[in-house]
Structure 1
Amino acid sequence: MKPKILLTNDDGVTSAGLWAAYEALSAIADVTVVAPATQQSAVGRSISIFEPIRTYEITLNGVPAYSVGGKPTDAVIIGLYSLNLKPDLVVSGVNIGENLSYESIMTSGTVGAALEASNQGVRSIAFSLQVEDQGDKFDDPSRATQKFEETRRIVRDVCERIFEHGFPEDADVINVNIPSRVTGGYEVTRLGEKLFHTGVEKRLDPRGRPYYWIDGPLYADAEEGTDVHAVRKGNVSITPITLDCTAFRAAARLNDIFP
């Protein structure tokens, strides 16, 4: 029997990246698409607890799918507990835009969905594709202009290897970032510290009242061994992530402060 995959994302159920992943995985697994109805980028692991979640069964590209009126975490929870899918693996993505460094994985809805799945007991992989023009992240993801041939190959290969060899015991999520132009191979990495030089741009509306845009350019590079550096040099970055955020090295010092 084929393994079962729950496929979700944060760009929305119509995203070209999501359907590239479906095409890659449907040959090796029974894939069920359960994804947000609309764009949900940068919502992290937020969850809908103050409003109802409406879910509709739809057909896209000739394939049945579930459109969830909520966040990526909501889609995972609906898939696991309402649709009762019982997947062997949750795959989140392919996100249009890279999710690199501490900074990005804490805000990424793509990684957030993967973390939620793992927290609910199903190991997960998040896939993201680097964009050369950061403006592409804000365009309609259903009309993404990226070429997905290489991305589909990598998504399938990574998942096949995990099915064959098993999920690493000490990881909860595998975060995979694919360069826009792959010139190298796979590189197992650690998280970089930052992806953006954070800034704020102040503007005035027609009535003279201020409003703000959070912005900032990308870091040019990062240290050897980080996910940021790997993608910058054309390698596919594979980063193991754990749900446990405990800072164990700080415990001794805290024991001194709070004896």
Structure 2
Amino acid sequence: MTERSVLVTNDDGIDAHGIGALADALDRVGDVTVVAPATNQSWAGRDMTWHAGPTGIEETERGYAVEGTPSDAVAVALSVLDIDPDVVVAGVNDGMNLSAHILERSGTVGAAVEAAHFGVPAVAVSTADHTDPAPPHEDPETFELAAEAGAFVTERALDSGVFAAAEYLNVNAPAFADDPEVHLTRPAREYAVEADRVEDGEVELRDGGWERFLDGETRDDPETDRHAVLAGNVSVTPMRLPRAADAEFDLSGFDAT
């Protein structure tokens, strides 16, 4: 049987602890190649640098460092380096990527989405300790549970045919937990972003849902990603790419007559 090919990337940069832990854990899944941003690209979403001219790439001890975003790194790996992976795995992100509005902003999830647009199954893996959430975390142990969970989910998904239905998976794991369970979830939908004026000429943006999460509280349904992680479990959310408007929508009012 031919060994599987696994492409690993992230948004925290090629030298981050999380990608090292993930690459090591995925070694049992297949032949691992790392192609990742040269520098931290957190919250890059699906940004790409094609408007900025040529993008630099350098081979390093860990893998290929791309002077660009996570989506750039995936595109470079698949289009320039001619890597033909069975799966792309992004992470381990230093910080959770939970709830629908966060997924749209995450560079880690953005890398998985980019891979899915190329037709390659993908997994995004993230972690955080909700009692100490602010990155960066310099203790490599912070990423070990999530890395093992990501490798487990990736292997099971490839073996079981999950990617026949889902195009990518969003995996979130607590940094530290005793015997966590793996829960299939959906993205939390609560949107509690607010802006407060703090003084003349300044406002402060807050995410109430995230603040409650840090306090160990949630208003989310038990089936959601945020609820699962807060309970000390691993959240696995099957995702598909956004598509064009449903053909069943009544768009007759747009027809010019």
What TM-score do you get using the length of structure 1 for normalisation?
0.85
Q: How many percent identity over aligned positions?
A: 35
Matches within 5 A, 1:155-166: 155-166=150-161
Distance 1:130-1:257 versus aligned 2 partners, 3 A rule: farther
* Aligned counterpart, 1:207: none
Whole-Å Cα distance in 2 between the matches of residues 125 and 246 of structure 1? 23
Q: Deviations over 1:28-75 (max 9, x none)?
A: 31111000011111110111121121000111xxx4x10100000000
Q: Deviations over 1:120-147 (max 9, x none)?
A: 111100000123256522x3x6x34653
Distance 1:173-1:211 versus aligned 2 partners, 3 A rule: same
- Give yes or no for contact 1:136–1:144 (8 Å, CA) kept in 2: no
Which letter maps to 2:43? A
What TM-score do you get using the length of structure 2 for normalisation?
0.86
Other structure's SS at 1:168 match: helix
- Give yes or no for contact 1:201–1:215 (8 Å, CA) kept in 2: no
Unaligned runs of 5+ in 1: 205-209
Distance 1:237-1:38 versus aligned 2 partners, 3 A rule: same
* Aligned counterpart, 1:106: 104
Which letter maps to 1:233? A
Distance 1:225-1:76 versus aligned 2 partners, 3 A rule: same
Which letter maps to 1:56? E
Matches within 5 A, 1:134-153: 136-137=134-135, 139=136, 143-144=138-139, 146-153=141-148
* RMSD, aligned CA: 2.4
* Aligned counterpart, 1:193: 189
Aligned length: 245
Unaligned runs of 5+ in 2: none
* Aligned counterpart, 1:18: 19
- Give yes or no for contact 2:146–2:174 (8 Å, CA) kept in 1: no
Report the Cα offset of residue 97 of structure 1.
Answer: 0.7
Which letter maps to 2:128? Q
- Give yes or no for contact 2:129–2:176 (8 Å, CA) kept in 1: no
Which letter maps to 1:149? E
Which range moves more in the overlay, 125-134 or 104-113?
A: 125-134
Q: Deviations over 1:93-120 (max 9, x none)?
A: 0101110111111000000000000101
Whole-Å Cα distance in 2 between the matches of residues 32 and 203 of structure 1? 49
